[in-house]
Amino acid sequence: MTQVGLIRHGSTLWNKTGRVQGLTDNPLDEDGRREAQLLGKWLSGQQWDRIYASDLVRARETAEIIAAELGISKIEIDPRLREMNAGQIEGTTEEERLSKWGHGWKELELGLEAPDLGMERGAACITEIADRHKGESILIVSHGVLLYHSLRKLVPGLSNRMDLGNTAFTVLAREGGVWSCSLYNGNKHLNEF
């Protein structure tokens, strides 16, 4: 059995101000670094063999902090784990979107990556990583929207809410080509925060 721990990156200033990040390469804020450290400490009592991350700095930095806590020396970067492209809404708040495009902004063509494309990209990447490291326990640090849509493909019916919190931890297992989920959107590590 192959185990995969999916992690959303730690918090950023844009998370706190409600701005859509998309591909904008924002760093973690102090809270985000502390969240990653708490998750790393919580995971240190478990066996994890390797860690992958998106190439965007907020995911890489989260992975670096966790890897340091776990004694994992190498972080493997995969750009397919990047957040979905948010097109013209990138950097905006809901209030700014309503002001600029009105209440029907979600129906407009604003250059966003289609959910199904993100779902296929993310799910294929996660599956490929799991197949490459059969029988291992692998951590993957990525982004909320991409992870949500990837999980829709890997474990249909798991959740219909895009509610993955910063440093949320989701555990999947793959056996015989079938995915199962034993923990979704876990945040127990933040109780010490």
Q: What is the pLDDT of residues 83-130, one digit of tens each?
A: 999 999 999 999 999 999 999 999 999 999 999 999 999 999 999 999
109 is catalytic: no
Helix H or strand E segment including 126: helix 115-132
Q: Alpha-carbon distance 4 to 130, whole Å?
A: 7
Beta carbons of 51 and 76 less than 8 angstroms apart: yes
Tokens of 75: 């972080």
Which pLDDT score, from 0 to 100, does residue 47 have?
95
Q: What is the pLDDT of residues 5-36, one digit of tens each?
A: 999 999 999 999 999 999 999 999 999 999 99
pLDDT for res 52: 98
| Cβ–Cβ < 8 Å for 18, 152 | no
pLDDT of residue 103: 96
Contact in structure between 149 and 122 (CB atoms under 8 Å):
yes
Domain map (residue ranges) of the chain:
2-192
Please tell me the predicted confidence (pLDDT) of residue 28.
98
Average pLDDT, the chain: 95
Q: In Å, how far from its chain's centre is CA 119?
A: 12
**pLDDT in the model for residue 193:** 56
Cα→Cα distances 101→95, 104, 107, 131, Å: 10, 7, 10, 43
pLDDT mean over 47-70: 98
Catalytic residue among 35, 61, 64, 83: 83
Catalytic residue among 9, 143, 149, 189: 9
Phi/psi at 101 (5° precision): -120, -5
At residue 170, the pLDDT reads: 96
pTM reported for the whole predicted model:
0.96
| Domain boundaries 2-192, corresponding CATH code | 3.40.50.1240
**pLDDT per residue as tens digits for the range 134-177:** 999 999 999 999 999 999 999 988 877 778 999 999 999 999 88
Q: Do 150 and 123 form a contact (C-beta atoms < 8 A)?
A: yes
Model confidence at 69, pLDDT cuts 50, 70, 90, reads very high
The yes-or-no answer on residue 83 being catalytic is: yes
